Chain A
Amino acid sequence: MSEKKTIIGTHISKQFDQELEDIRERVLQMGGLVEEQFGRVMTALMDGDADQAALVAAEDYKINQFEMEIDEECVLILARRQPTASDLRLVVAVTKCIRDLERIGDETERMARMIQNSIEIESPENYYKGFLAAGESIRKLLQSTLDCFARMDVMSAVKQMREAYIIDREFHSMTKQLVDRMKKDPESITSALDMMWATRCLEKVGDHCVNILENVVYSVKGQDVRHQHLDEVEETVKQS
């Protein structure tokens, strides 16, 4: 069997090509904004800049707007074109991906608010070190995830899923360290709890990235790889 090519721009209807190209483009713009917001939160934390964190929190509405607009475009495409096969899978994947992106936006906003509080209370740099490192891993994961979506690259998608799995394990040890710290130093409980919640946020961003990666695989391969072992996913992806 020959490998199927799924290039958007080859429909008899050029208008349809344009509509699909449009939603894809818009998802990438939305992804760009989500990535930027996330990066700004991390910088705010590093610089101890509460104003910057407040600004990020205030701008989450832009991401929500993107989601609603792209959603509407997808509904119109479904109504107008009744897409099938790879087109259908792309539209369905897009509606799911923008939901995950919107949720990443929400987690980012939540972190921005928490960081604002922590910074205002004190400056416990020690906590931040591990958190910032994890944040950087997640930022890279998010960036690569969007890259996989842009290029519809399933091989890299699986690679990033593995990466996400490794990062996820780091969170467990981070959480343990925070608990130890609270035990030793009850004074630190308030700020350590904040850090704990912020860590949860990062973890969720990682989960949303994995959802997006799974949707890239679904869109290209037509296979639902949710709840599958990574080795199985890799097998699926390798099959042409």
Chain B
Amino acid sequence: MNMSEHTQQNEHKTEGTPLLDDPRMSTRGVDVFYGDKQAIFNVDLDIGKNQVLAMIGPSGCGKSTFLRCLNRMNDTIDICKVTGSISLDGEDIYDRKIDVVELRARVGMVFQKPNPFPKSIYENVAYGPRIHGLVDHKVDLDEIVEKSLVRCGLWKEVRDRLDQPATGLSGGQQQRLCIARAIAINPEVVLMDEPCSALDPIATATVEELISELSERFTISIVTHSMQQAARVSQRTAYFHLGKLIEVGDTDQIFTNPTHQLTEEYITGRIG
């Protein structure tokens, strides 16, 4: 890309505090293109350790695109090109040396629609630790499966039917199973793209409670369309608009007194 064009398009500054002292992940000057079309513009953002970062913004503003950069899920889309730098614990995740499979074990992902494998409940959780060689013995695997399910508050509900198909669980149970699957391989970061949008209020509350608990051990970044959810589960909030990172700040501040007009308009439901 032509450099002068680059600076011109990226002539905007993120309001608030996008950078942190001791981040888990950092992105600097990240641009994302789908073919000729640019979807993300020059994003500098740090994701703090053991914190929940909420990403909000209107549909099509690039939240999912940006989230997928963080564990290189965009690699699977042919026309998608990511430039700039993204690091995990100071290490460039787009470096040639990086093993993408291993990266995705360190940076796990939970999707909008619960997507359990068409296998047993046990196998859904055991699969990751097994292929990543985290265990040698069946007892160790059993232990990981149980621990992960307990942590997701699912153990009591499924302990007696671990060998039954995961697809037989309710939507909320399936989503918690997917989260159990993601954390079974002990990731550093868990990315969640609208994890509750297919769930009822009770299941949503359970998953939100789980997110808060998990943030004590993991770093979490969640995309959500629910302002209340962002306000409830996150400590920091990032607002995206047309591919640009407009404002980042403490969640409490963003929802009571945002700095940028666009943030204010979006969270109060006004026409921009």
Q: Which residues of A contact B (CB under 8 A)?
A: 1-2, 4-6, 10-13, 16, 82-89, 222-223
Q: Known contacts A1-B15, A82-B228: does B269 contact A89 (CB below 8 Å)?
A: no
Q: Are A5 and B269 in contact (CB under 8 A)?
A: no
B-side residues, CB < 8 A to A, are 15, 227-228, 231, 255-261, 263-265, 267-271
CA A83 – CA B268 in complex, angstroms? 7
Q: Which residues of B contact A88 (CB under 8 A)?
A: 255-256
12 additional A-B pairs beyond A1-B15, A12-B269, A88-B255, beta carbons within 8 Å, are A2-B261, A4-B260, A6-B264, A10-B270, A12-B270, A84-B255, A84-B267, A85-B267, A87-B268, A88-B256, A89-B256, A222-B256
Question: Closest approach, in angstroms, between the C-beta of A170 and any C-beta of chain B?
Answer: 36
Bound complex: CA of A131 vs CA of B270, how far in Å? 49
Bound-state Cα–Cα, A86 to B227, Å: 14
Contact B257 A11 (CB under 8 A): no
Q: Are A85 and B257 in contact (CB under 8 A)?
A: yes
Task: A210 to B235: give the CA distance in the assembly, Å.
Answer: 34
Smallest distance from the beta carbon of A25 to chain B beta carbons, Å?
A: 19
* CB pair A11 B15 closer than 8 Å: no
Chain B, residue nearest A10 (CB): B270
Question: Cβ of B270 and Cβ of A4 under 8 Å apart?
Answer: no
**A10 pairs with B271, CB closer than 8 A:** yes
Instruction: Report whether B269 and A11 are in contact in the complex, using a CB–CB cutoff of 8 Å.
Output: yes
Contacting B256 at CB < 8 Å: which of A1, A6, A84?
Answer: A84
Which A residues are CB-close (under 8 A) to B261?
2, 4-5
Q: Are B257 and A12 in contact (CB under 8 A)?
A: no
* Count: A-B pairs, CB below 8 Å: 49
Offer 10 A-B interface pairs, CB within 8 angstroms, sorted by A.
A4-B261, A10-B271, A11-B269, A11-B271, A12-B271, A16-B269, A84-B227, A84-B231, A84-B268, A88-B256
Q: How far is the CA of A116 from the CA of B84 in the complex (A)?
A: 79
The 4 closest A-B pairs by CB, nearest first: A222-B257, A84-B267, A10-B270, A84-B255
A86 / chain B contacts, CB cutoff of 8 Å:
264, 268
Closest Cβ neighbor of B13 among chain A residues:
A1
- With A82-B228, A84-B255, A222-B256 in contact, is A13–B15 under 8 Å at CB? no
B-side contacts of A13, CB under 8 Å: 269
- Closest approach, in angstroms, between the C-beta of A8 and any C-beta of chain B? 10
CB of A104 to closest CB in B, whole Å: 27
Q: Which B residues touch A4, using CB under 8 A? A: 259-261, 264
B263 to chain A, nearest CB (A): 8
Give Cα A89–Cα B255 distance, bound, in whole angstroms. Answer: 10
A20 CB, nearest partner CB in chain B, Å: 10
Given A2-B261, A85-B257, A88-B256, check contact A11 B227 (CB 8 Å).
Answer: no
CB contact between B255 and one of A10, A16, A85 (< 8 Å): that residue:
A85
CB distance from B258 to the nearest CB of A (A): 6
Tell me the complex Cα distance, A228–B256, Å.
20
The complex places the Cα of A209 from the Cα of B72 at a distance, in Å, of 58
- Interface centre among B15, B231, B264, B270, by most A CB within 10 Å? B270
Task: Knowing A85-B256, A222-B256, A222-B257 are in contact, say whether A11-B228 is a contact too (CB < 8 A).
Answer: no
Chain A nearest Cβ from B229, distance in angstroms: 11
Contact check, A85 vs B258: say whether CB atoms are below 8 A apart.
yes
Chain A residue nearest to B257 (CB atoms) is A222
Bound CA span A12–B265, Å: 10
B69 smallest CB distance to A (angstroms):
28
CA of A10 to CA of B265, assembled, Å: 9
Pick from A12, A16, A84, A222 the residue with the most CB of B within 10 Å.
Answer: A84
When chains A and B are docked, how far (Å) is the Cα of A10 from the Cα of B271? 7
Residue contact B267 to A1, C-beta cutoff 8 Å: no
A183: shortest Cβ distance to chain B, in Å?
53
| Assembly CA distance A222 to B227 (angstroms) | 19
A222 (CB) vs chain B CBs: closest residue: B257
